[in-house]
Amino acid sequence: MSKESKDKQFVTEITPQGEDFSRWYIDVIKKADLMDYSPVRGCIVFKPDGYEIWEHIQEELDRRFKETGHRNAYFPLFIPESFFQKEKEHVEGFNPELPWVTEAAGEKLEERLAIRPTSETMFGHMYSKWIQSYRDLPVKINQWANVVRWEKRTLPFLRTSEFLWQEGHTAHETEAEAREETMQMLDIYQDFVENYLAIPVIKGQKTPSEKFAGAVDTFSIEAMMKDGRAVQAGTSHYMGTNFAEAFEIQYLNRENTLEYAHTTSWGVSTRLIGSLIMVHGDDRGLVLPPKVAPTQVIMIPIGPPKTRDAVVGRTDELYRELKAAGIRVRVDDNPDVRPGWKFNEYEMRGVPVRLEIGPRDMENGVCVLVSRITGEKKVVEQANLVQEVQAMLEQVHQEMYNRAKQFREDHFYSVDTLDEMKASMEEKRGFTLAGWCGSEACEDTVKQETGATSRNIPFEPGETKTKCLVCGDDAKHTVLFARAY
Amino acid sequence: MSKESKDKQFVTEITPQGEDFSRWYIDVIKKADLMDYSPVRGCIVFKPDGYEIWEHIQEELDRRFKETGHRNAYFPLFIPESFFQKEKEHVEGFNPELPWVTEAAGEKLEERLAIRPTSETMFGHMYSKWIQSYRDLPVKINQWANVVRWEKRTLPFLRTSEFLWQEGHTAHETEAEAREETMQMLDIYQDFVENYLAIPVIKGQKTPSEKFAGAVDTFSIEAMMKDGRAVQAGTSHYMGTNFAEAFEIQYLNRENTLEYAHTTSWGVSTRLIGSLIMVHGDDRGLVLPPKVAPTQVIMIPIGPPKTRDAVVGRTDELYRELKAAGIRVRVDDNPDVRPGWKFNEYEMRGVPVRLEIGPRDMENGVCVLVSRITGEKKVVEQANLVQEVQAMLEQVHQEMYNRAKQFREDHFYSVDTLDEMKASMEEKRGFTLAGWCGSEACEDTVKQETGATSRNIPFEPGETKTKCLVCGDDAKHTVLFARAY
């Protein structure tokens, strides 16, 4: 409680979103104690409330990965320099961001070791040893790990030099099976992000210039932040036989001839934490999706000193009931802090549901639940508390999703020309559909002139554009453009 | 199944323990598919069956850490060189093992960054920012992470350049409270290792020469491998104010004066995997403790082709029952492999319980459970299968613990002189108690002459030695000596 009592004003210190969204973001994550800057450039400390969000993300995704036949493993942090040379696009894509270990235990290394920015090469090397026959396939392994990309501009959670993620790497007999895996994982990401983090996303395929370095096809889910910018919330790649050829992942097929395996990879990272903050937060602070909130319910006993012991006693009983039902609940019964101050504090921290209980509530066998997202107050019977709390948590989730979806619809545009795109990006901000001829030059022009990049080619764009917004030629694709984090 | 069918002989390829224990160990972990060597010096790949043991260790320890008021967080992988200079013993202890990042993104770094070998310095730096007042204490944070120590001689799981671990770091107002935390965590480790991994351990305090670099006192739990060598299975350190002084972790105490916090740290690592293999394995292969075994029960339907479908159908029903009860169960119904071969295979892989079911069992509503550790066969009613399996898993655990304890008692010695210690180490092998005067010179003589190091000063040595085994002076402590991994 000490940090809070030092500064009872800090809720009002959060910069309003409308004034400066980036400052709002930094204010909120610092004040809500999710992270701190570290002494190492671009690396943050994930503090307990920030890290716990990641733990809940991990639990649920891990469950879904295992349910679909994947197993976890752990591969080395270090990747020999020569590995990066084996896949041409891969080295070009990642080389500019690699940190290098050149000395160890007082001696210069013969070969420099990169800190992994991703592990396709290491998995490729090992898979080539493990896979001999079609009977060894598929191999479906996931890894939870830290990775490092020495980024020039960093932003806590969204782009840090070191971050946490999972990377799935699979190898298959056929293209069809590998593509099915690629899509299955993209679907799992979409379902998870929408139904667990309450973030609606747009599924689609990356354009060649935006795909993963070394992939044949990259697919993504794209989410809209409250400043209209996009975050790529998850990606799934079909690698074809590129890495199999580079690392000689060959197997004897059913006809007893050697073939290259088809591989995939897919990942989400701690940038999901940044995303859910930017999608749901408001001027009062965080709004955390109930399914990943470290504290789902904060219980605040209220009333004068003379009834205090009785109220706190009853609060503790109800606390145990909620906890036994698997609800993540905390009690703040600090007598030195006014309830009103606590209300602000836990709103700022994004706790989905507040439970108030006072002496009159005690007499009536009720208490009051307050929704963080709508502010709605509901008097509920203590006898039904578990169900009432679960119902309100579910309502909060649903309302968060609906609002995020409405916000995205309100900031979703469609343009025909580059000038319209410029106006769209500068005045309205948001996601903007446009036709594209397929040439990298036109895509690059959009980027240079408007700051927007192609996010993906949506599977369900809603409408079909017929002309390229830059050159006016026939459009090959209807593309989603946005400025992005 | 492909790997198995390639080589039906490999059970007999395991080197017997009595012939060459180190070769037995490598044979077993390779054949049971727990790990593979990586192309990076001293780094292994934790394959799914090896990694899953770690996942079960994590789940249970994490639960116990949280139950005792700790929370997880994540701190940076990189540690600036200057941090290591701040605590003199710490830098001397770890400097020889550090790998250094000297370049990143094409540029030479101004300050070299070490890959963390442990994170006292980074936690110290951050705690100094977070802790201002006694109201901020205690801070009790744990981290699950990879760490790197560039070891000269490596051994899979037991000593690898990169390994996985947890490191708890806490800060407290008083020495008493910090010491209580240090002991609490040591007790948690002991309880976990004994009751979860079925490994009896000896608790005690490290001698000054063996304590953690920078600690005031280090405590350990020591386990005996089947070759009589010791593994330090977990450590807990009371740091005093050493790191608080080095990193200025100061707080205003209840009398409003500045004081240094008292800190602790404690950790266990993936060397637990190596330990449980060396404690429990036998000439037939792995023997996995039921509570961490990736597969707890392997179900093998048997009988002629004509009854096959019926037996496999019933097996699947029973499989679903066991799975629903939370038991980690697998079915091997591969018709191309003989049951006898499967029996050997899963014994080699250390699966605690085998379930056999044939056509006659079907008729009688029974099946057969076989214990990996005793070989005992038990005919059980299918109607009680869940309870019967749970009971046998518990029996296997208990029997494993009892045997490990008996083995340790059979290899536990006590000596009065250096010559006796030499004989004890060369002929008998095992743990050997001896008196020690407290001088580093005598301790070092034991090491030079016998290869044994002081493991710890047991809290309950069983007997009290009165003379130093080297110099014959009065003994200050009764010390546990052993050759160690």
pLDDT one-digit tens code per residue, B416-434? 999 999 998 988 889 999 9
Contact B97 A105 (CB under 8 A): yes
Residue with tokens 């671990």: B165
Please say which residue of A280, A315, A344 terminates a domain: A280
Helix (H, G, I), strand (E, B) or coil at B451: coil
Residue with tokens 């304590």: B211
Contact B73 A79 (CB under 8 A): no
Q: Are both A95 and A233 inside the same structural domain?
A: yes
Q: Are both A342 and A200 inside the same structural domain?
A: no
The number of domains in chain B is 3
Task: Say which CATH number the domain at B306 has.
Answer: 3.40.50.800
What are A354-393's pLDDT values in tens digits?
A: 999 999 999 999 999 999 999 999 999 999 999 999 999 9
For residue A45, list chain B residues with Cβ-Cβ distance below 8 A: 73-76, 126
What are A196-214's pLDDT values in tens digits?
A: 999 999 999 999 999 999 9
Residue A8 has pLDDT above 60, yes or no: no
Residue A96 lies in a domain: yes
Q: Are both A358 and A476 inside the same structural domain?
A: no
Residue B24 lies in a domain: yes
φ, ψ dihedrals at B165, nearest 5°: -160, 180
Residue A216 lies in a domain: yes
Mean pLDDT of chain A: 95
Residue B405 lies in a domain: no
Q: Are both A160 and A72 inside the same structural domain?
A: yes
Cα A331 from Cα B8, distance rounded (Å): 60
Q: Between A370 and A89, name the one with better pLDDT.
A: A370
Q: Are both A101 and A201 inside the same structural domain?
A: yes
For residue A43, list chain B residues with Cβ-Cβ distance below 8 A: 76-78
Mean pLDDT within A240-258: 97
Which residues sit opposite B235 in a β-bridge? B220, B267
Contact A75 B101 (CB under 8 A): no
Walk across the sheet containing A297-301 and list its strands: A329-331, A297-301, A353-357, A366-371, A377-381
First-to-last C-alpha distance (Å) of chain A: 34
Q: Are both A275 and A330 inside the same structural domain?
A: no
Residue A90 lies in a domain: yes
Q: Are both B37 and B117 inside the same structural domain?
A: yes
Please choose, from the candidates B165, B129, B171, the residue with its C-alpha nearest in 3D space to the C-alpha of residue B148: B165
Ranges of residues in chain B whose predicted pLDDT is under 50:
1-11
Please choose, from the candidates A266, A249, A225, the residue with its C-alpha nearest in 3D space to the C-alpha of residue A87: A249
Helix (H, G, I), strand (E, B) or coil at A76: coil
Residue B56 lies in a domain: yes
Q: Are both A155 and A225 inside the same structural domain?
A: yes
Burial letters B181-208, b for 16+ CB under 10 A, else e: bbbbbbebbbebbbebbbbbbbbbbbbe
For residue B106, list chain A residues with Cβ-Cβ distance below 8 A: 96
Q: Are both A115 and A221 inside the same structural domain?
A: yes
Q: Between A120 and B3, name the one with better pLDDT.
A: A120
Residue A214 lies in a domain: yes
Contact A106 B115 (CB under 8 A): no
Task: Say which CATH number the domain at B37 has.
Answer: 3.30.930.10
B271-280 and B385-410 helices, crossing angle to 10°: 90
Cα B35 from Cα B29, distance rounded (Å): 6
Q: Are both B225 and B350 inside the same structural domain?
A: no
What are A399-425's pLDDT values in tens digits?
A: 999 999 999 999 999 999 999 999 989
Please say which residue of A398, A422, A447 terminates a domain: A398
Q: Are both A369 and A454 inside the same structural domain?
A: no
Q: How many angstroms separate the most distant Cα atoms in chain B? A: 85
Spatial contact of A166 and A70, defined as CB atoms under 8 Å apart:
no
Q: How far is B77 from chain A (nearest CA, A)?
A: 8
Minimal Cβ distance to A146: which of B54, B135, B146: B146
Contact A150 B101 (CB under 8 A): no
Please choose, from the candidates A358, A345, A349, A479, the residue with its C-alpha nearest in 3D space to the C-alpha of residue A413: A479
Domain containing A440 equals 412-482
Minimal Cβ distance to A55: which of B55, B72, B146: B72
Structure letter (DSSP) for residue B428: I
Residue A236 lies in a domain: yes
Helix (H) or strand (E) holding A380: strand A377-381
Contact B136 A77 (CB under 8 A): no
Q: How far is B435 from chain A (nearest CA, A)?
A: 36
pLDDT band of A7, cuts 50, 70, 90: very low
pLDDT band of A9, cuts 50, 70, 90: very low
Contact B40 A80 (CB under 8 A): yes
Cα B85 from Cα B128, distance rounded (Å): 17
Task: Say which CATH number the domain at A447 has.
Answer: 3.30.110.30
Helix (H) or strand (E) holding A174: none
Q: Render B263-324 in DSSP notation, one character per residue.
A: EEEEEEETHHHHHHHHHH-BTTB----TTT-S-SEEEEE-S-HHHHHHHHHHHHHHHHHHHH
Please say which residue of A219, A251, A280 terminates a domain: A280
Q: How far is B377 from chain A (nearest CA, A)?
A: 31
Which residues sit opposite A435 in a β-bridge? A478
Residue A268, CB-side half-sphere exposure with 13 Å CA sphere: 25
Could you tell me which residues come within 8 angstroms of residue A135 by beta carbon, excluding any fewer than 6 positions away? B1, B2, B5
Residue of chain B whose alpha carbon sits nearest to that of A101: B101
Contact A77 B162 (CB under 8 A): yes
Mutation target among B1, B45, B161 for the A interface, most CBs of A within 10 A? B45
What are A421-476's pLDDT values in tens digits?
A: 999 898 888 999 999 999 999 999 999 999 999 999 999 999 999 999 999 999 99
Q: Are both A124 and A16 inside the same structural domain?
A: yes
